[in-house]
Amino acid sequence: MINAGFRNFVNDKRILAVVDFSKAKSQPVLRAIRNANDIGIVIDVTMGRTTNSVIFMDSGHIILSHSMGPTIANRVKENREQKEDKRC
């Protein structure tokens, strides 16, 4: 589990992609968010702040986070490395 911001945790095994959304708001990502919102599978953990990253899950859910995209990607990487070290 990784912190997606404001003590909201996400299962890192189910993350497909983390998109940095802080500067450029790409149309394909905006379209994916809009479509997912229409069918009710968007989870907003920004606590009313700006969306800086978008997390795509294997279940189809899209998580909007205030944490920066590289920060979340580093958390995922560190968590996976720690799990690999425990196996050895």
**Domain definitions of the chain by residue range:** 2-87
Question: Which residue carries 């919102």 as its tokens?
Answer: 37
What's the rounded mean pLDDT across residues 59-76?
96
What's the rounded mean pLDDT across residues 31-46?
98
**Does position 31 have pLDDT exceeding 80, yes or no?**
yes
Q: What is the mean pLDDT of the chain?
A: 94
Find, among 29, 16, 9, 5, the residue nearest to 59 by Cα.
Answer: 16
Do the Cβ atoms of 12 and 2 come closer than 8 Å?
A: yes
**Does position 8 have pLDDT exceeding 80, yes or no?**
yes
pTM of the predicted model as reported, rounded to 2 decimal places: 0.92
What's the rounded mean pLDDT across residues 61-72?
97
